[in-house]
Amino acid sequence: MADIYIRGGWIITMDNARRIIKEGAVAIEDGYIVDIGKKEELDKKYRYYSDIVINAEKDIVMPGLINTHVHLAQGLLRACAEYQPLIPWLRDRIWPLQGNYKPEEALVSAKLVVAEMIRTGTTTFLETGLVGRYGPDNIIEFIHESGIRAAVARHVMDMTGYALEENILHEGLVELGDKSFKDTLRLYNKYHGWDNKIWIWFGPRTPGAVSVELYRKISEKARELKTGITMHLAEVKADVEYTLKKFGKKPVEFAEWVGLTGRNVVLVHVIWVDDNEISILARTSTSVSHNPCCNMKLGSGAAKIREMLDHGVNVALGTDGGPSNNDYDLLREMKHAALLQTLRKLDPTAIRAEEVLEMATINGAKALMIENMVGSIEKGKRADIIVVDYWQPHLRPLNNPIAHLVFSATGLDVKHSIIDGKLVMYNREILTFNVDKVLEEADKAAYELYSRTGICKEPDIVWPII
Ligand SMILES: [Zn+2]
Distance 100 CA to ligand 1 centre (A): 19
Closest CA to 305 of 264, 347, 263: 347
The rounded distance, in Å, linking the Cα atoms of 196 and 175 is: 29
Q: What is the pLDDT of residue 1?
A: 86
Q: Are strands 65-70 and 122-130 parallel, antiparallel or unpaired?
A: parallel
Q: What is the pLDDT of residue 103?
A: 97
- What is the Cα Rg of the chain in Å? 21
Distance 388 CA to ligand 1 centre (A): 28
Distance 225 CA to ligand 1 centre (A): 24
Distance 41 CA to ligand 1 centre (A): 46
The correct CATH number of 65-367 out of 3.40.190.10, 3.30.379.10, 1.10.10.10, 3.20.20.140 is 3.20.20.140
The rounded distance, in Å, linking the Cα atoms of 347 and 338 is: 11
- Residue 124 — φ and ψ, nearest 5°? -145, 140
Distance 56 CA to ligand 1 centre (A): 35
Sequence spans of domains, the chain: 4-63+385-419, 65-367
Q: What is the pLDDT of residue 96?
A: 96
Q: Are strands 65-70 and 52-63 parallel, antiparallel or unpaired?
A: unpaired
The rounded distance, in Å, linking the Cα atoms of 302 and 293 is: 10
**CATH class belonging to 4-63+385-419:** mainly beta
Distance 319 CA to ligand 1 centre (A): 8
The environment of the single-atom ion ligand 1, i.e. residues with CB closer than 5 A, is 320
The rounded distance, in Å, linking the Cα atoms of 200 and 139 is: 12
Closest CA to 218 of 181, 252, 178: 181
Distance 73 CA to ligand 1 centre (A): 11
Q: Does residue 65 contact residue 360 with C-beta atoms inside 8 Å?
A: yes
Q: Does residue 154 contact residue 131 with C-beta atoms inside 8 Å?
A: yes
Distance 267 CA to ligand 1 centre (A): 10
Distance 359 CA to ligand 1 centre (A): 17
Please report, in tens digits, the pLDDT of each residue of the chain (466 residues total). 899 999 989 999 999 999 999 999 999 999 999 999 999 999 999 999 999 999 999 999 999 999 999 999 999 999 999 999 999 999 999 999 999 999 999 999 999 999 999 999 999 999 999 999 999 999 999 999 999 999 999 999 999 999 999 999 999 999 999 999 999 999 999 999 999 999 999 999 999 999 999 999 999 999 999 999 999 999 999 999 999 999 999 999 999 999 999 999 999 999 999 999 999 999 999 999 999 999 999 999 999 999 999 999 999 999 999 999 999 999 999 999 999 999 999 999 999 999 999 999 999 999 999 999 999 999 999 999 999 999 999 999 999 999 999 999 999 999 999 999 999 999 999 999 999 999 999 999 999 999 999 999 999 999 999 9
Distance 234 CA to ligand 1 centre (A): 12
Distance 125 CA to ligand 1 centre (A): 13
Distance 69 CA to ligand 1 centre (A): 6
Distance 295 CA to ligand 1 centre (A): 10
Distance 271 CA to ligand 1 centre (A): 13
Distance 270 CA to ligand 1 centre (A): 11
Query: What is 408-439 written as a DSSP string?
Result: I--GGGEEEEEETTEEEEETTEESSS-HHHHH
**CA 287 to chain CA mean position, Å:** 13
Q: What is the pLDDT of residue 243?
A: 97
Buried b (16+ CB within 10 A) or exposed e, 214-226: bbebbbebbeebe
Query: Which residues have C-beta within 8 Å of that of residue 65, sequence separation ≥ 6?
Result: 120, 121, 122, 123, 124, 330, 331, 360, 361, 364, 386
Q: How many CB atoms lie within 10 A of CB 255?
A: 29
Identical fold between 4-63+385-419 and 65-367:
no
Distance 269 CA to ligand 1 centre (A): 8
Distance 35 CA to ligand 1 centre (A): 38
Q: Does residue 118 contact residue 430 with C-beta atoms inside 8 Å?
A: yes
Distance 361 CA to ligand 1 centre (A): 19
Closest CA to 213 of 274, 245, 257, 275: 257
